[in-house]
Copies of this chain bind each other. A is one copy, B any other.
Amino acid sequence: MLSNNQIKHIRFLQQLKFRREFNQFVAEGDTLVLDMLASAYKVDMIVATDDWLQSNALLLNNYKATIISVKENDLQRISALKTPNQVVGVFNMPEITLDIENIKSQLTIALDDIKDPGNLGTIIRIADWFGIKNIVCSPETVDVYNSKVVQATMGSIARVNIFYLDLVDFLKSMQTSIKIYGTLLNGESVYTKTLDEKAIIVIGNESRGISNAILPYISEKLLIPSYPIGDSNSKAESLNASVATAIICSEFRRKTL
């Protein structure tokens, strides 16, 4: 049975300050929790229905975690979802450090103040699909352990490393070693521009794009052309940040096929 203290603890993890204090976060639902268990993340607590615990009894033997069986109704008391789904897991945040040499040898995404949890979750899922191992976020980017982000990643959070760093410092330290791409209104078509296999792709904030402090570090300016080209009439003003990320990552990968 869940104690009141446990209920309180799990609910506290819906708030950023407590996630930081305890270095823990929550992931929910059958698929996501199984993805998390299979990852490098350490599990601290599993709260689940009897059915789920029975189905996964063998697997759970491999983990040192507090395991608590609850009725479906009780999941509601700790879940951040409208419709809780069998299991709630409490995981420890990983201690990972950014390996600059590693970043220089591959494709990395840098997020300049992405604010929408759904966008961040979707971008992590895109990174996972396109084999991008690292995402560097500005400190103002939404917290990756926000439950909406965690759920939107559909398990990809377990396979992509996320770092929060001062983006200016980071790009400054990288600019002589690797090309830094960003989409700008005066950029060159992503379809025709040469794209390096080793690079940093900067994605700007949903409303204001790439910030002024970051602009000087963008060595390669990209543009996703709208269609038909040259027809500025009655056209969408912009693409959603995660949609733009998807199209750009797809272009980087198609060019190395």
Interface residues of chain A, those whose CB is within 8 Å of chain B, are: 118, 122, 125-126, 128-131, 154-156, 159, 189, 191-192, 224-229, 231, 234-240, 242-243, 246-247, 250-251, 253-254, 257
Contacts and interface: CB of A to CB of B under 8 A. Distances in A.
Given A129-B239, A155-B236, 11 more contacts: A122-B240, A128-B236, A131-B226, A131-B227, A131-B231, A154-B236, A191-B257, A239-B246, A240-B242, A243-B243, A250-B251
Nearest to A246: B243
A74 to B, nearest CB: 26
Contacts of A235: 128-129, 131, 159
Given A129-B239, A226-B131, A159 B250 contact: no
A257 B225 contact: yes
A239 B130 CA distance: 10
17 contacts: A125-B240, A125-B243, A126-B239, A129-B239, A131-B226, A131-B235, A154-B236, A154-B238, A155-B236, A189-B257, A191-B254, A191-B257, A225-B253, A239-B246, A240-B242, A243-B246, A250-B251
